[in-house]
C-alpha cells in the first residue's frame, strides 16, 4: 500500500479535484483498491464521492480514540472507500496540543492489506491534520496554478515538506512532485514552466492539467461526480487519467 497526500497551503489550487479524480481513476479505471481520507473540515471530497449521512462516524472520531478501520464508508463507486469529513473536524486542529501527528500513518498501516492506495485530501492550511497527512505520505502531490509562466509560491511548501521528512517517525523517504493545474497555455509554455521548475529543483509531473469549466460543473449540487463520470470525453478528464497512469509508473505498489 502507498499513501499519497494532495497538499498545498494555498487555497483553491485543485487539491480536492485532484484527490477525487485520482482516487476515482485508480479505482474505476485501473482496478486498484483505493481509500480516500477527507482530511479537510470543508468536506468537499466527501460531498462529491459519498452519500452524505450526518450520523456517520467521520475522521473526527479517530482523534476520539476510534480505530481508522471503523470510520471507513463505501463511496458511491466500486473499489473506492472513503473516510469522510465534516465541519467538526476543525476542532481537532484547535485541540491538537496532545495529539501525535504520526498517529494517522500508524492507523493507516493497520489497514494496509485492504488497499493499494490511500489518497488524503488536505485543507489549505498547515495545521495538525495537514501535518499528519504529510507525516503519513509516501508521495505528496502539490498542485499549483500554472497560468502564465510562473511557478511562484512553492518555496514555503518545500520547507514544510522538508521539515515533515525529517521529523516524522514511520517512513524515511518523502517523495513529492508539483502538479501544474488550470493550465491554458501551449507547448511552449509547458517547456518554459518545466525549465523554471528544473532551475529551482522542483520535481514536476509530465502531466499538465488543463483549465476547464467542466471541473466546476462536475461539483454542482445536481451533478457531484468525478470528471470521467460527468464528461468522459473532456480534455480535463483525459488529463487526470494521464496523471493517474503517470503516478502508477512513479509509485506502483
Ligand X SMILES: Nc1ncnc2c1ncn2[C@@H]1O[C@H](COP(=O)(O)OP(=O)(O)OP(=O)(O)O)[C@@H](O)[C@H]1O
List of residues contacting ligand X (CB under 6 A): 11-17, 40, 42, 44, 123-124, 181-182, 209, 211-212, 215-216, 219, 236
Contact 208, 188 (CB under 8 A): no
Phi-psi region of 153 (alpha: psi -120 to 50; beta: other; left: phi over 0): left
145: contact with Mg ion by CB under 5 A: no
State the first-to-last Cα distance of the chain, in angstroms, to the nearest integer: 6
CB of 166 to Mg ion, least distance (A): 27
Residue 17's binding partner out of Mg ion, ligand X, none, with CB under 5 to 8 Å set by partner kind = ligand X
Q: Can residue 130 be called a binding residue for Mg ion (CB under 5 A)?
A: no
Nearer to ligand X, 72 or 181 (CB): 181
Q: Of the two residues 52 and 170, which places its CB atom closer to ligand X in the complex?
A: 52
The strand pair at 175-181 and 139-145 is best described as parallel
Rounded Cα distance between 97 and 94, Å, is 8
Cβ distance 39 to 121 under 8 Å?
A: yes
Residue 85 touching Mg ion (CB under 5 A): no
Considering the complex, what minimum distance in angstroms separates the CB of residue 38 from ligand X? 10
Residue 174, contacted partner among Mg ion, ligand X, none, CB below 5-8 A by kind: none
Residues belonging to the chain = 253
- Min dist CB 89 to Mg ion, Å, is 13
Identity of the residue, 21 or 107, whose beta carbon is nearer to ligand X in the bound complex: 21
Nearest Cα neighbor of 124 from 58, 40, 63 is: 40
Among 2, 6, 13, 15, contact with Mg ion (rule: CB under 5 A): 15
Stretch that binds Mg ion, among 37-45, 81-89, 112-120, 153-161 (CB under 5 A): 37-45
DSSP state of 63: G
> Would strands 175-181 and 117-122 be described as parallel, antiparallel, or unpaired?
unpaired
SS3 assignment, position 113:
helix
Tell me the CA distances in angstroms from 184 to 148, 149, 221, one per residue in order: 8, 11, 26
169 binds, among ligand X, Mg ion, none (CB under 5 to 8 A by kind): none
Name which of 15 and 32 has its Cβ closer to Mg ion.
15
3-state secondary structure of 187: helix
Number of residues binding to Mg ion, judged by CB under 5 A: 3
Q: Which partner, Mg ion, ligand X, none, binds residue 206 by CB below 5 to 8 Å per kind?
A: none
Residue closer to Mg ion by CB (options 43, 185) is: 43
What is the binding site for Mg ion (CB under 5 A)?
Answer: 15-16, 44
Amino acid at each position: 500500500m502507498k499513501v499519497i497526500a494532495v497538499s498545498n497551503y494555498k487555497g483553491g489550487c485543485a487539491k480536492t479535484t485532484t484527490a477525487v479524480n485520482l482516487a476515482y481513476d485508480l479505482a474505476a479505471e485501473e482496478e486498484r483498491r483505493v481509500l480516500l481520507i477527507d482530511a479537510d473540515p470543508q468536506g468537499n471530497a466527501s460531498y462529491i464521492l459519498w452519500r452524505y449521512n450526518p450520523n456517520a462516524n467521520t475522521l473526527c472520531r479517530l482523534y476520539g480514540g476510534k480505530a481508522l478501520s471503523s470510520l471507513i464508508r463505501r463511496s458511491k463507486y466500486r473499489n473506492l472507500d472513503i473516510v469522510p469529513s465534516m465541519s467538526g473536524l476543525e476542532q481537532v486542529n484547535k485541540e491538537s496540543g496532545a495529539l501525535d501527528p504520526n498517529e494517522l500513518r500508524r492507523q493507516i498501516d493497520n489497514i494496509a492489506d485492504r488497499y493499494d492506495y490511500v489518497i488524503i485530501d488536505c485543507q489549505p492550511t498547515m495545521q495538525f491534520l495537514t501535518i499528519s497527512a504529510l507525516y503519513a505520505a509516501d508521495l505528496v502531490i502539490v498542485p499549483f496554478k500554472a497560468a502564465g509562466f510562473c511557478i511562484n509560491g512553492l518555496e514555503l511548501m518545500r520547507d514544510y515538506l522538508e521539515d515533515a521528512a525529517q521529523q516524522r517517525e514511520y517512513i524515511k523517504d518523502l517523495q513529492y512532485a508539483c502538479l501544474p493545474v488550470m493550465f491554458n497555455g501551449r507547448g511552449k509554455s509547458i517547456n518554459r514552466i518545466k525549465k523554471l521548475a528544473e532551475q529551482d529543483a522542483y520535481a514536476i509531473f509530465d502531466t499538465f492539467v488543463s483549465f476547464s469549466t467542466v471541473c466546476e460543473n462536475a461539483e454542482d449540487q445536481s451533478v457531484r461526480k468525478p470528471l470521467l463520470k460527468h464528461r468522459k470525453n473532456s480534455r480535463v478528464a483525459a488529463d487526470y487519467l494521464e496523471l493517474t497512469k503517470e503516478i502508477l509508473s512513479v509509485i506502483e505498489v
